[in-house]
C-alpha cells in the first residue's frame, strides 16, 4: 500500500511537469494574445509580468521578437526600450529598434535611436539613414553639428559634403563653407547645381571673382540643358561689377543655347547693367547666315529693352548693308517702325531694296502710303496672294486695297478670287458686307451661293463678319490717319 501511494505521487508530479512543459511561456502567451487580436489583453499581461519583476533581457528580447512577428510593433518597441535599459550597448538591439521606429514612421524616436547607434558603431548605411531623418524633419542645426563632428569623411556621400557646405553658409561660417563646397564640387556629378550656385555666390561675396569665373565656366558646359543656371551666374557676375567675366560667361551661355541671348540681355539690363547687356547683343548677326524675321524681332525687342538706341540703329545699318539679307532687312525696318513710328525710319528708307519690300508687301504698302506714293502701294498689293497670308493679314490686305483703290476695287478683287474658287472662307463675310454696302446685287448673290456651298453655319458666319468688319474699320482708320499726316 505504501508502494501505491509512492507511485501515485510520482505520477502526479510527472503529470504536473508535463503540463508545465506543454504550457506556453510568457513571451509565447503574449504573442498568442497579440496574434488573436487581443491587444489590450496582451498589454495587460505584459504589464502584469513586468510588475512581477520580469525584466531579464532574455525574456524582454524574446517577448519583443514574438510580438513583432504578430505585427504589434508598439509593444515590441516598448519591450526593446526596456531591454536596452538593461543592455544599453547592444548594437543589434539598437538597430532592430531603429528599424521598428522607421517602419512605424516615428521619426523622432528613430532619430534618437540612430544617434546612439551611430555613436557606438558608425557605418555608412546607419549614418546616411540618420542624415536623411534629420533632413526629413528639417532639424538643420543638429544636422550641421553632426556633419561637422564626422572625422572620417569617407563615410559621407558627396551630397552630404555639399549639404554641410550649404548649412555652414547659412550659419555664416563662410570659410568652412567654402572649404566644404570646394570638396563637394570635386566630388559631385557635373550636372549638380545647388551647392555650386551657393559656392559661386560665396566666392563672389569673398571677392574671389577669378575663381568664381573659372569654376562657372566649367559648370556652364555641364549645364547645357539648364541654360537658366548660366543666366544666373552671368547676372550675379554682372551685379558684382566684373563686366569682362560677365560678358565672357554670357558668351559661353549663348554659344551653348543661342535662344537665350535676348532674354539674358534683357534681364541683365533690368538689373541695371545696361552696358554689359549691350555687349551681349553686340556680336549678334555678325557673320554666318542671315537671321530669320523672328530672330530680328527678338533682337529689336531686347535692344529696345536695353535702351541703347544708338547700338540698335547701328545694327540696323549693318543688316541693311548685307547683300541678299532681304528678309532680315525688311524685318528690322518693320520692327523699328513698330517701336518708333514710320517717320523714324526715314533715314534708312533709301537703303531698303525693292526685293526686301516684296518680302513684306503689306508693310511695304503702308510705308508707301505714308510716303505719299499710292502707285507703289498699289503695285505691291497686286503681287499679294491672300491664300498665303494669315487670317489677320488677309483682313489687313482687304482694308489696304479699299483704302488705296476704293471699295469697288476691293470687291472686284474678292469677286475675282471667288469666281476662281480661291477666296479663303474667312473673307466671305467681308465680300458680302462690301457687296451690300455698294448695292451690288450680283456680287451679293455670288457670295450667298458660296455661303450655301460652304460648311459654315450661319451663326458662325455672322460672328466672323462682325469681328472682321471691326478689323477692317480699324485698319482703314489707321490708313486715313496716315493720309492726314501727309
Say if 251 falls within a structural domain: yes
Spatial contact of 433 and 441, defined as CB atoms under 8 Å apart: no
> Do residue 369 and residue 485 come from a single domain?
yes
The model's confidence at residue 454, banded by pLDDT at 50, 70 and 90, is confident
Q: How many domains does the chain have?
A: 3
Give the per-residue pLDDT at 303: 93
Say if 8 falls within a structural domain: no
> Do residue 315 and residue 343 come from a single domain?
yes
Q: What is the mean pLDDT of residues 90-107?
A: 82
Q: What is the mean pLDDT of residues 36-43?
A: 56
Say if 324 falls within a structural domain: yes
* Residue 204 lies in domain: 157-281
User: Residue 96 CA to chain centroid, in angstroms?
Assistant: 42
Say if 150 falls within a structural domain: no
pLDDT higher at 125 or 457: 125
Say if 254 falls within a structural domain: yes
> Do residue 302 and residue 410 come from a single domain?
no
Alpha helices (H) along 153-193: 158-170, 174-187
353: alpha, beta or left, given left = phi > 0 and alpha = psi -120 to 50? beta
Q: What is the mean pLDDT of residues 183-205?
A: 93
> Do residue 411 and residue 344 come from a single domain?
no
Q: What is the mean pLDDT of residues 44-70?
A: 53
**Given 328, 359, 390, which residue is the final one in a domain?**
359
Query: Over 70: is that where the pLDDT of 309 sits?
Result: yes
> Do residue 267 and residue 330 come from a single domain?
no
Name the nearest CA neighbour of 483 among 368, 384, 392.
368
pLDDT higher at 446 or 475: 446
pLDDT higher at 47 or 154: 154
Say if 441 falls within a structural domain: yes
Q: What percent of the chain has pLDDT over 70?
A: 77
**Given 259, 281, 303, which residue is the final one in a domain?**
281
> Do residue 266 and residue 351 come from a single domain?
no
Give the per-residue pLDDT at 279: 94
Spatial contact of 301 and 262, defined as CB atoms under 8 Å apart: yes
> Do residue 229 and residue 333 come from a single domain?
no
Taking the C-alpha atoms of 143, 149, 153 and 155 in order, what is their torsion angle to the nearest 10 degrees? -60
How far apart, in whole angstroms, are the C-alpha atoms of residue 329 and residue 75? Answer: 82
What CATH number does the domain containing 237 carry? 1.25.40.10
**Given 253, 281, 309, which residue is the final one in a domain?**
281
Say if 138 falls within a structural domain: no
Give the per-residue pLDDT at 24: 46
Average pLDDT score, the chain:
82
Say if 217 falls within a structural domain: yes
Spatial contact of 264 and 300, defined as CB atoms under 8 Å apart: no
> Do residue 299 and residue 390 come from a single domain?
no
Give the tens place of pLDDT for each residue, 216-270: 999 999 998 999 999 999 999 999 878 999 999 999 999 999 999 999 999 999 9
Spatial contact of 195 and 184, defined as CB atoms under 8 Å apart: yes
> Do residue 235 and residue 164 come from a single domain?
yes
Spatial contact of 234 and 253, defined as CB atoms under 8 Å apart: yes
> Do residue 421 and residue 478 come from a single domain?
yes
How far apart, in whole angstroms, are the C-alpha atoms of residue 135 and residue 164? Answer: 12
> Do residue 231 and residue 312 come from a single domain?
no
Instruction: Evaluate the CA torsion angle 17, 19, 22, 25 in order and state its sign.
Output: negative
pTM for the structure as a whole = 0.69
DSSP 188-250: S-TT--HHHHHHHHHHHHTT-HHHHHHHHHHHHHHTTT-HHHHHHHHHHHHHTT-HHHHHHHH
Give the per-residue pLDDT at 12: 40
How far apart, in whole angstroms, are the C-alpha atoms of residue 264 and residue 228? Answer: 9
Phi, psi of 383 (to 5 degrees): -90, 0
How far apart, in whole angstroms, are the C-alpha atoms of residue 342 and residue 289? Answer: 28
Give the per-residue pLDDT at 19: 33
> Do residue 297 and residue 191 come from a single domain?
no
DSSP 244-291: HHHHHHHHHHHHH-GGGHHHHHHHHHHTT-HHHHHHHHHTTTSSSSPP
Amino acid at each position: 500500500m505504501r508502494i501505491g501511494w509512492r507511485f501515485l505521487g510520482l505520477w502526479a508530479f510527472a503529470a504536473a511537469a508535463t503540463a508545465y512543459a506543454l504550457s506556453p511561456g510568457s513571451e509565447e502567451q503574449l504573442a498568442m494574445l497579440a496574434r488573436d487580436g487581443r491587444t489590450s489583453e496582451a498589454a495587460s499581461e505584459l504589464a502584469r509580468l513586468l510588475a512581477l519583476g520580469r525584466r531579464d533581457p532574455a525574456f524582454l528580447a524574446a517577448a519583443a521578437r514574438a510580438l513583432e512577428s504578430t505585427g504589434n510593433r508598439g509593444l515590441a518597441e516598448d519591450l526593446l526600450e526596456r531591454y536596452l535599459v538593461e543592455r544599453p550597448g547592444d548594437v543589434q538591439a539598437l538597430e532592430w529598434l531603429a528599424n521598428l521606429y522607421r517602419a512605424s514612421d516615428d521619426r523622432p524616436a528613430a532619430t534618437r535611436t540612430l544617434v546612439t547607434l551611430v555613436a557606438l558603431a558608425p557605418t555608412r548605411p546607419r549614418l546616411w539613414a540618420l542624415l536623411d531623418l534629420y533632413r526629413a524633419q528639417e532639424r538643420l542645426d543638429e544636422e550641421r553639428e553632426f556633419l561637422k563632428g564626422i572625422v572620417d569623411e569617407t563615410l559621407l556621400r558627396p551630397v552630404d559634403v555639399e549639404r554641410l557646405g550649404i548649412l555652414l553658409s547659412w550659419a555664416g561660417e563662410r570659410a568652412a563653407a567654402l572649404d566644404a563646397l570646394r570638396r563637394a564640387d570635386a566630388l559631385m556629378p557635373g550636372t549638380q547645381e545647388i551647392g555650386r550656385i551657393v559656392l559661386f555666390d560665396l566666392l563672389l561675396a569673398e571677392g574671389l571673382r577669378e575663381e568664381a569665373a573659372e569654376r562657372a565656366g566649367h559648370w556652364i558646359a555641364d549645364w547645357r540643358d539648364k541654360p537658366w543656371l548660366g543666366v544666373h551666374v552671368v547676372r550675379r557676375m554682372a551685379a558684382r561689377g566684373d563686366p569682362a567675366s560677365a560678358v565672357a560667361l554670357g558668351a559661353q551661355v549663348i554659344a551653348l543655347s543661342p535662344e537665350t541671348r535676348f532674354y539674358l540681355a534683357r534681364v541683365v539690363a533690368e538689373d541695371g547693367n545696361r552696358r554689359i547687356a549691350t555687349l551681349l547683343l553686340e556680336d549678334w548677326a555678325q557673320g554666318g547666315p542671315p537671321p530669320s524675321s523672328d530672330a530680328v524681332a527678338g533682337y529689336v525687342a531686347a535692344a529696345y529693352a536695353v535702351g541703347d538706341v544708338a547700338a540698335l540703329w547701328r545694327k540696323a545699318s549693318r543688316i541693311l548693308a548685307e547683300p541678299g539679307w532681304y528678309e532680315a532687312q525688311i524685318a528690322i525696318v518693320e520692327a523699328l517702325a513698330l517701336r518708333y513710328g514710320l517717320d523714324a525710319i526715314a533715314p534708312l528708307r533709301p537703303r531698303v531694296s525693292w526685293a526686301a519690300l516684296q518680302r513684306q508687301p503689306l508693310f511695304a504698302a503702308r510705308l508707301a502710303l505714308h510716303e505719299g506714293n499710292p502707285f507703289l502701294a498699289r503695285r505691291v498689293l497686286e503681287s499679294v496672294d491672300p491664300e498665303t497670308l494669315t487670317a489677320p493679314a488677309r483682313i489687313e490686305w482687304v482694308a489696304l486695297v479699299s483704302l488705296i483703290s476704293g471699295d469697288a476695287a476691293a470687291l472686284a478683287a474678292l469677286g475675282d478670287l471667288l469666281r476662281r474658287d480661291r477666296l479663303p472662307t474667312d473673307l466671305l463675310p467681308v465680300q458680302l458686307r462690301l457687296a451690300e454696302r455698294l448695292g451690288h446685287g450680283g456680287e451679293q448673290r455670288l457670295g450667298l451661293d458660296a455661303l450655301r456651298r460652304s460648311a459654315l453655319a450661319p451663326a458662325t458666319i455672322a460672328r466672323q463678319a462682325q469681328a472682321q468688319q471691326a478689323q477692317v474699320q480699324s485698319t482703314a482708320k489707321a490708313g486715313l490717319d496716315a493720309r492726314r499726316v501727309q
